[in-house]
Structure 1
Amino acid sequence: MLLSLLDLAVIGISCATCVGVAFKSQQEIKKWRNAKQIDTARANNLPIFLFQDDELIDATPQAIALINEHRTDLSEFDTLMQMLGPHFPQLRGLAANPPSSKTRIDGVTATSIWVEICKTGGRLRIAINGAQEELTPHQSSTVTSDIRLSELAMLRELTQQSPQLIWQEADDGKLLWANQTYLKFIDQVHAPSDTVQAVWPSASIFPDLHDIPGAKGTSLRRLSVKLHDKSAEHWFDVTSVPHGDGFMHFATDANGIVRAEQERRSFKQTLGRTFAELSIGLAIFDKQRQLTTFNPAVLDLTKLKFDFLSSRPTLEAVLDKLRESRMLPEPKNYTSWRDQFTELEVAAKKGTYSETWALPDGQTYRVTGRPHPDGAFAFMFEDISAEVSLTRRFRSDIETSQAVLDSIPDAIAVFSSAGTLVISNQAYAELWQTNPALYHEQRALQTETKVWQQRCTATPIWSKIQNFTHQIGPREAWSDSTLLDDGRQLSCHANPIAGGKTLVRFTTAAKMNPVIQKLTMHDPAIRVRKR
């Protein structure tokens, strides 16, 4: 007979109830087992930690005592990893991905202890084990003692092998303890003795280190020691820390720092000597606009007193003094002159300031501003009076030479060996009807010969002048003549001059009468006759 729906429902509810009871029983069993493991560990004085998501949820008294002994600002999990990491390097990696079964990790610094790690019930279990003895509840765990001894051995090894010189002195300077680095170095300080067996040093490397009035707290000093076989000093940065009735000292090698400072000082002295020999005045202002560095050339060029410049004056004060001593270009009005200082400073910081100062006494200075790091800027003063005077004299000589050429009635043009027009006179411009303003522009001989051909009858003179101008080697002066389009006779003279240049001179005869002029004008019949 088929079961009714009511019977099926009752059966289903019963089955679900049984499954729930069974699952809850398994959870209770797991909790009981974990609690039993913790209780067993408490009885055996073992440090056992139970973590969930890196949070400590349970631990034995020995484990709690171990954590408290190494308490830091870190969490319990990170404190445990920091404490056990040097002895069990694999622990942190396994803790990130713990195995499901117990896994043993042997120590690398202490062979008498090991760690068991596993994941149980979603929690991380870490147990520290070791060779156990029968311990009373009031005795410390042997495992905890082994960890402390292992850590002590590691710290001892660190101090012995440290590159620092570490030693302890009593309040009277007597050496109480020193690491191996200190003992090895002290053998280099003192001359080797005849005795084979090493003797504990009776004196410190720095005998006056402890004898400093008022030295009660931590101090840092830079001291030097001479080795017995070397003349150079060995430098150390010594940190002294009060310890009991004496001090603990830590000496770090400072030879590199001292050598760098000495080289820097020597470099600055070299720069100072170089600046002192410069003819260009150099004045450097810091970001507060105060003069920090200047060389003797500034004194010579600005006529300012050394006492004034050495008092670190501001830029405004320096410029005021320069104006008072008439070492600045006189401005049109005081307001614009004062505003110019600010513009000068801004331009100097941008590295764009460069002006020529024409002083009232006839001297000429080139003043340049350059930016420096950290907002500083520098001014360079250069006396260019001789340069300006030479330039003016050259310009005057050129103008005089041009005036002399313009006074000559003959048309004159000078060409370089490359065929470039170097100079010509007013008569040349009038003869060939060229613009006098184009005297100093670059004009080629080929362009000039086209102008000549247009104004004259056909003649081979122009190609001859071109070949003569480009000719290399010794040349002889020559002359020839032709007719202008207005009937006048044109004499052409080519003369070699210095630098491979060629002087071409044109001389014209008196203007012909109208009859002859008309006969020599361009006419087809005359051209046929000439052929």
Structure 2
Amino acid sequence: MMASWVDFALIMCAATFGAGAIVCAARWIDHRKDTQAARSVDSVAGPVLLFEGETLLDATQDALGMISAHLDHMTEYDAAIHTLSAHFPDLPDALSDTENPVQRLGNGRDGNLWLDIERMGTRLRLSVGGEEQAIGFGARDLIERDTRMAELATLRHLTQHTPQLIWQDDLTGKLLWANQSYLTFCDKLRATEQSEQPVWPKQSVFPDLHEASFSAVPSTRRLSVPLADQKAEQWFDITSVRRDDTVVHFANDANAIVRADQERRNFVQTLTKTFAQLSIGLAIFDKRRQLAMFNPALLDMTNLPFEFLSGRPTVDAVLDRLRESRMLPEPKDYASWRDQFVALEQAAKDGSYSEVWNLPEGQTYRVTGRPHPDGAIAFLFEDISAEISLTRRFRADIETGQAVIDKLPEAIAVFSSAGTLVMANEAYCDLWGPVEQDQVQPQQLQNAIQLWQERCAPTPMWADLRSFIHLLGTRKPWSARTLFEDGRPLKCQADPIVGGRTMVRFSFAPAVSPVARKVKHADPALLAYKR
């Protein structure tokens, strides 16, 4: 009994499912027939494209012709979307809607065309359909027309709102077309004219432009236009391209570039004038180690020809010419000379090169290397021959003066007004001991007086001598006597000399021999002694 009920239930379910399937199939067949009938009566198929992902699998001839204009810079998929979007603006949004495998987009303008979108897994089918009249007129032509109109509107918007001056004229210079920036600039040039309504320019803004010949290859030139309300000029970089019997011009504002170039030229001229007045020779080598700049002093100091230096020689070439003209210190061997200047270049990069060149002809140059931006190196040549000669002569004078006072028998010491020992002769060192010539901490008067006091009899004369040495203004010679440690009388004399200095001299009094004198009168003492 239970089995019969189960069998009966299964039979009823199968019958119900079969009946439903039959009804659905009948309705689908009827709907398909209606759709096909409607399409056969009201519409005609147009361009069709079939994609696998973004790869084109198949397309009708009119579909290929529809996208062929964009295949030079787009893929087939992008060209199809770009072309169809101009006529069906909702296409990108519809493609992003993956939940609806079948969609139809209508043409918002007149509705006589539509686009069917069908997804079958990874495949995408785009079919353009429409009424027989529209398809007969040419769906591809309509879509291409809409695409061109959309591109034309974009180009028109760009040309009218770009800050670049764009215009077209014929070969005689007659203006045929101009964008808004060009017309606005023309109005600025006519600012002095009283005109309420804008008028088409009667003549070209750049009259000198038409004196040149043009070709299909773009050519660029820089021209200026004087403004009506300003003393300055407006500069433009103009690119011209010829097309048949017309020329299209594109003008970019070049004021900033011209101003920067002018400031750079002024700066270079200022540097050039400054360098020309310098007595120091200047040679600047760029990062390729070619001579980029030099001043007249370098010509005078090195005796190198102007033609040679103006040819942008390298560092090695300049050094070779200097060596040939005996304007370099002669090394012991050529190899060490080359190694020396390799080190010279490296040291100049670090800004640490500074050397004195004693030339064979007797001149003395101080050469300094300084690094500059972008790897450039500047060498400064300073003639210090006069300075070296003066130093040598001054040193010789000092040595001569020292030799002279060393020959004097008196012990001599010279002190400054501050009490610093400036110099002393050999007799002073023999009398008081050697003097250490320390440039950092020279001997002071206080130390010298302490030594003198220790080796002489007690006397207040040293305090007077200290006051005399530190005294400013006009002074008269001072002298005093004392006994040396061995009992000999010692004379000390201080004389003021130039610069507030004081020369102190020490000498021993000569020994006095007894003198016998004849007594002319009787000496009472002797008479008393004889008694």
Q: TM-score, normalised by structure 1?
A: 0.66
1:433 alignment partner in structure 2: 433
Q: 8 Å contact 1:426–1:436 — kept in the other structure?
A: no
1:87 alignment partner in structure 2: none
Distance 1:499 1:161, change over 3 A: same
Amino acid aligned to 2:411: A
Q: 8 Å contact 1:371–1:378 — kept in the other structure?
A: yes
Instruction: List per-residue Cα deviations over 1:450-483 (Å, max 9, x = no partner).
Output: 2222222333333333333333444444322222
Q: CA deviation at 1:240?
A: 3.0
1:342 alignment partner in structure 2: 342
Amino acid aligned to 1:209: L
Distance 1:153 1:278, change over 3 A: same
Amino acid aligned to 2:309: L
Distance in structure 2 (CA, Å) of the matches to 1:436 and 1:359: 36
2:387 alignment partner in structure 1: 387
1:217 alignment partner in structure 2: 217
Q: 8 Å contact 1:241–1:249 — kept in the other structure?
A: yes
Q: 8 Å contact 2:413–2:424 — kept in the other structure?
A: yes
Distance in structure 2 (CA, Å) of the matches to 1:245 and 1:69: 26
2:298 alignment partner in structure 1: 298
2:249 alignment partner in structure 1: 249
Q: 8 Å contact 2:175–2:203 — kept in the other structure?
A: yes
> Which secondary structure does the structure 2 equivalent of 1:249 belong to?
strand
What aligned pairs does 1:66-215 form with structure 2 within 5 A after superposition? 134-136=111-113, 137=130, 156-190=156-190, 192-193=192-193, 196-209=196-209, 212-215=212-215
1:235 alignment partner in structure 2: 235
1:466 alignment partner in structure 2: 466
Distance in structure 1 (CA, Å) of the matches to 2:486 and 2:75: 111
> Which secondary structure does the structure 2 equivalent of 1:360 belong to?
coil
Amino acid aligned to 2:260: A
Q: CA deviation at 1:371?
A: 2.7
Q: 8 Å contact 1:481–1:490 — kept in the other structure?
A: yes
> Which secondary structure does the structure 2 equivalent of 1:209 belong to?
helix
Consecutive unaligned residues in structure 1, runs of 5 or more: 1-42, 44-54, 56-65, 85-111, 514-531
Q: CA deviation at 1:390?
A: 0.8
Distance in structure 2 (CA, Å) of the matches to 1:297 and 1:80: 72
Aligned length: 445
Amino acid aligned to 1:397: D
Distance in structure 1 (CA, Å) of the matches to 2:196 and 2:97: 62
Instruction: List per-residue Cα deviations over 1:104-149 (Å, max 9, x = no partner).
Output: xxxxxxxx99x999x98999xx999997765442598x99999998
Amino acid aligned to 1:325: S
Distance 1:268 1:121, change over 3 A: closer
1:371 alignment partner in structure 2: 371
Q: 8 Å contact 2:349–2:371 — kept in the other structure?
A: yes
1:505 alignment partner in structure 2: 505
Distance 1:368 1:132, change over 3 A: closer
Instruction: List per-residue Cα deviations over 1:464-509 (Å, max 9, x = no partner).
Output: 3333333344444432222222222222223333333233222223
Instruction: List per-residue Cα deviations over 1:412-438 (Å, max 9, x = no partner).
Output: 222222221112221221111124655
1:422 alignment partner in structure 2: 422
Q: CA deviation at 1:236?
A: 0.1
Q: CA deviation at 1:350?
A: 3.2
Distance 1:419 1:67, change over 3 A: farther
Distance in structure 2 (CA, Å) of the matches to 1:130 and 1:416: 110
Distance in structure 1 (CA, Å) of the matches to 2:424 and 2:482: 21
> Which secondary structure does the structure 2 equivalent of 1:205 belong to?
coil
Q: 8 Å contact 2:214–2:247 — kept in the other structure?
A: no
Distance in structure 1 (CA, Å) of the matches to 2:354 and 2:93: 79
Q: CA deviation at 1:235?
A: 1.0
1:308 alignment partner in structure 2: 308
Q: 8 Å contact 1:116–1:127 — kept in the other structure?
A: no
Amino acid aligned to 2:509: A
Distance 1:459 1:151, change over 3 A: farther
Q: 8 Å contact 1:281–1:382 — kept in the other structure?
A: yes
Distance in structure 2 (CA, Å) of the matches to 1:121 and 1:511: 135
Distance in structure 2 (CA, Å) of the matches to 1:459 and 1:73: 115
Q: 8 Å contact 1:225–1:233 — kept in the other structure?
A: yes
Amino acid aligned to 2:162: S
Shifted more, 171-180 versus 391-400: the winner is: 171-180
Q: CA deviation at 1:261?
A: 0.9
Q: What percent identity do the matched residue pairs reach?
A: 56
Q: 8 Å contact 1:429–1:436 — kept in the other structure?
A: no
Amino acid aligned to 1:349: K
Q: TM-score, normalised by structure 2?
A: 0.66
Distance 1:268 1:462, change over 3 A: same
What aligned pairs does 1:1-80 form with structure 2 within 5 A after superposition? none
Consecutive unaligned residues in structure 2, runs of 5 or more: 1-42, 44-53, 55-65, 114-129, 514-531
Instruction: List per-residue Cα deviations over 1:28-53 (Å, max 9, x = no partner).
Output: xxxxxxxxxxxxxxx9xxxxxxxxxx
Q: CA deviation at 1:399?
A: 0.9
1:487 alignment partner in structure 2: 487
Distance 1:205 1:68, change over 3 A: same
Q: CA RMSD in A?
A: 5.0
2:127 alignment partner in structure 1: none
